[in-house]
Structures are given as C-alpha cells and as structure tokens.
C-alpha cells in the first residue's frame, strides 16, 4: 500500500486497521471522504414471461404520468424510479429471453446454453472492472439456478446462478470448515522452490499450463482466506435474521414470497457489506415449468398463453390473473427498494447509490413478442440518473385494443432507433465502465441523466 498519500480510502483504511474488509458503510468516513463513500452499484432483476401489457405502461410521458395498476405498489417510491416505453432488442428470442435480456445477442434462441462467441452480458462487462474492488466480482442468483441465468461471460458461456438460500448466506458470512489454511503458509509458498525447479524442465507450452494451474490455486487460496477473514470479523448487526427464511422452497407456493424476499435480503446484505457491487437475479424460468409459477390465482405461464394476446374484454379472467402476478412481483420489488431507501449512507440512502433495473425480456406472453418491453430503473441518483418520470422512445404510444391486433406488430426500427442496448450501455457508463458499441447501442440515454 502507498503510505505517502494522506487520503483515507475506505478499503485501504480497513486493511491497515485490521478490520474486516466488508464492513458496512461507517459514518466516520463521511466528512473525510464523502466521494469515496458513495459506492456505485448495479442490480439487474429479470422477471420473464411478459406482463399484462394492457396495464403495464403509462399513457402520459414526463413526470406527471399516472401510475398504472402494477406500478401502484411503488407509489411511495414514485420519485425514485423511471418507467420506459418503446425499448426492445432487435432479437425476438421467445423463451430464450434470459439469454438476450442483458446481452442483446440477436442469435440466441431458447435451449442454447452459451450465447454467441464474445457476447457478454452487461453485468459481467461491468464486473470485469468494478469487481476488482470487492470480494466477489459479481453475485449471480436465480430461483432455478445453474444455467438458468441472465449472466454470460466474454466467451458467451453462462455464469451459473446460485439458488440455494442457505448456501448463499453461508458464502456471504464466510463458510465453515476452512480455519486450517491461515495456520500454515500458502500451499504455493511451500512448493515455490519445487515449482521453480520443475519450470526449468518444461517447454513453453507446459510452462504456460503450469502457470495457469498455479494461478488458479492462488485464486482459490485468496478466496478462502478472504472468507475466513470476513467470518472472523463479521459485524453481526448488519444481519437481520427475522428477515431471512433460508429454508424457503421456490417450488412450493406457500414459500414463494418468503423465498423471493429472502433472496432480496441476501442481495441487500451482499451490497451493504460491499461483498459485491454488481448483482443479477433471474427470478424464474421463461418456459412453462419452474419455480414461482403457481400462485393461488392460477398458472402464470399457461394463463399467459390462454390470453391469446387478445383485447382485454375478450379474456378478462386470464388478464386478471396476469395482473395479480404483475402486482405480486412489484410488491416484492417495492419491499427491496424500500430496504435500500431506509438504509443510510452518509447524507444519503443506499438506493441513491444503487441502480436497480427491473423488467422482462418478453412483452406479450402468448405470442412471445419482445417489443415495447416492460422496464423500469430505480435509484442510482448518485450515479447521475434523473428519476421520477416516464420516458417513451421510438414514437411508442400506449397500446389500445383493436380488431386488427396492431398491438402485436413489431415496429420496423431504423438504424438510429433507441434500443434496450442503449439503456444497458448508459447504466454501465454511469457505473464508470465504458460500453460504447455494446450490443446494438448507438448512444447513451441523455434523457435519463441529470
């Protein structure tokens, strides 16, 4: 560490003082280093399968728009989020939406594991830079887990999602059973002389393989040591056990709310302790099966198909069920945002320093359309976002029922049309990570900035 600087950087100070690296924000840093205390964070929450499109988007743009039924759960946060109309990816991925939502990959279709070579999701693009400053580069979670993810690395391979609440909690607070490592030297330090002797006997190719292997071992050692240091000095006051239901099962309807609320609490905890600053959450699957699909009102995926994307007066029962799902999800979101809003960080709250993108990769569920996506961005005013408005792009108007089913016609967008890629790029660049040329992006959304 450079000891010539008089600036007390949060992370350097914690290291030199011997206190846990991931302590929550402390008031004492505010006066000396307010700019450093204002961490930049991004959370991406995808709720697939589309919405009741007749209700989701407001009719009027600007700041004095009227909250639509699914957005009324966010009424207390009205000035802290922006609703978007008219944004889409050029791809129409259908149930492959999870692979497109954060990548803008036009070639992805349902059933594929990896995306196109070198197609990276925006969260991982951000994490490549921002993640160097935290314990984890990013946090990737989902109710299904595994390859059901919205995160993809630069090789186009899925970043596997964690789904087990207990395991995620154990990772956050530091896993058990690893105490022995700090009591002895690093494995690599112990074998350094043998490794040097072996390296002299190897050809260039084998030498490179050996170095890659040893680098991997070193990375694991660093992770283990970080976990031990974290658990040994964890500030237990940041953990609210009454908010955690770690045994909740996302496949049991009675546990749905507890599972999602607990996952959001774990995300909050990871952010507050600065374990990571980038999170992606694939809430469920896009296909028919999977978790969080059977509220008492009816089956989510099946009902979406049963609407036929017809006008609402022809399928009132079906659309009522979709509306109940939409409201259920925004209620979960509101609880999470309120948690961030009521947590102080210096002279502001945690939501101000955290941009939360929420939405779906599908709009009309029956026909799997993906134009005019349901999207909103909350918080992040400290990153430069101007909230409290409804922004409509590409001439998008509120959808109105008619017999010609014009609402299902995907607009023919010109080369200069505004896309969801522009929104993702804007989030990345406000996080301090250049994303020019990401996906289909042509510009940043200056309309969203202060």
Intervals of the chain under pLDDT 70: 1-38, 109-118, 174-195, 208-210, 212-242
C-alpha torsion sign, points 306, 45, 85, 433: negative
Residue 236: its pLDDT value, please?
Answer: 57
| pTM of the complete model | 0.81
Query: CATH number for the 38-168+239-448 domain, one of 2.60.120, 3.40.50, 3.40.720, 3.40.30?
Result: 3.40.720
Which residues neighbour 146 within 8 Å (Cβ) at sequence distance 6 or greater? Answer: 160, 161, 163
Looking at 174-297, list the stretches that DSSP marks H as alpha helix, in order from N- to C-terminal side: 187-190, 192-200, 204-232, 256-272
The runs of H, that is alpha helices, within 131-178 are 165-173
What dihedral angle (degrees, nearest 10) is formed by the CA atoms of 59, 62, 67, 72?
150
Domain-by-domain residue ranges, the chain? 38-168+239-448, 175-233
Q: What's residue 178's pLDDT? A: 37
Supply φ then ψ for residue 157, to 5 degrees.
-90, 145
Question: Cβ contacts of residue 376 below 8 Å, gap of 6+?
Answer: 71, 81, 82, 83, 84, 357, 358, 359
pLDDT at 180: 37
């Amino acid at each position: 560490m450079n000891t010539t600087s008089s600036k007390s950087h949060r992370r350097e100070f914690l290291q030199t003082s011997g206190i846990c690296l991931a302590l929550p924000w402390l008031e004492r840093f505010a006066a000396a280093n307010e700019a450093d205390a204002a961490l930049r964070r991004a959370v991406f929450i995808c709720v697939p399968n589309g919405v009741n499109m007749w209700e989701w988007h407001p009719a009027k743009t600007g700041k004095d728009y009227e909250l639509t039924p699914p957005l009324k759960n966010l009424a207390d946060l009205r000035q802290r989020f922006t609703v978007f109309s008219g944004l889409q990816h050029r791809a129409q991925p259908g149930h492959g939406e999870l692979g497109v939502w954060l990548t803008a990959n036009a070639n992805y279709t349902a059933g594929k594991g990896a995306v196109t070579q070198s197609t990276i999701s925006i969260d991982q693009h951000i994490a490549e830079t921002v993640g160097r400053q935290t314990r984890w580069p990013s946090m990737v979670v989902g109710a299904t887990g595994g390859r059901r993810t919205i995160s993809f690395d630069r090789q186009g391979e899925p970043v596997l999602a964690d789904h087990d609440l207990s395991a995620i909690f154990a990772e956050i607070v530091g896993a058990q059973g690893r105490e022995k490592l700090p009591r002895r030297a690093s494995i690599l330090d112990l074998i350094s002389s043998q490794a040097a002797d072996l390296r002299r006997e190897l050809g260039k190719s084998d030498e490179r393989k050996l170095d890659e292997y040893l680098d991997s071992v070193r990375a694991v050692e660093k992770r283990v040591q970080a976990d031990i240091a974290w658990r040994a000095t964890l500030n237990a006051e940041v953990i609210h056990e009454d908010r955690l239901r770690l045994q909740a099962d996302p496949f049991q309807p009675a546990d749905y709310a507890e599972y999602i609320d607990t996952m959001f609490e774990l995300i909050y905890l990871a952010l507050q302790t600065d374990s990571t600053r980038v999170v992606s959450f694939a809430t469920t699957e896009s296909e028919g099966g999977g978790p969080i699909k059977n509220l008492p009102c009816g089956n989510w995926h099946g009902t979406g198909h049963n609407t036929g994307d017809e006008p609402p007066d022809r399928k009132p029962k079906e659309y009522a069920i979709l509306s109940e799902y939409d409201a259920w999800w925004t209620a979960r979101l509101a609880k999470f945002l309120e948690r961030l809003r009521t947590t102080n960080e210096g002279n502001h709250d945690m939501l101000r320093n955290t941009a939360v993108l929420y939405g779906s990769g599908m709009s009309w569920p029956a026909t799997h359309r993906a134009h005019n996506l349901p999207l909103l961005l909350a918080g992040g005013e400290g990153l430069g976002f101007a909230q409290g408005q409804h922004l409509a792009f590409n001439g998008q108007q509120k959808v109105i029922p008619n017999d010609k089913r014009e609402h299902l016609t995907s607009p023919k967008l010109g080369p200069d049309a505004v896309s969801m890629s522009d929104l993702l790029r804007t989030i990345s660049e406000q996080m301090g990570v250049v994303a020019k040329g990401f996906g289909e992006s042509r510009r940043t959304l200056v309309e969203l900035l202060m």
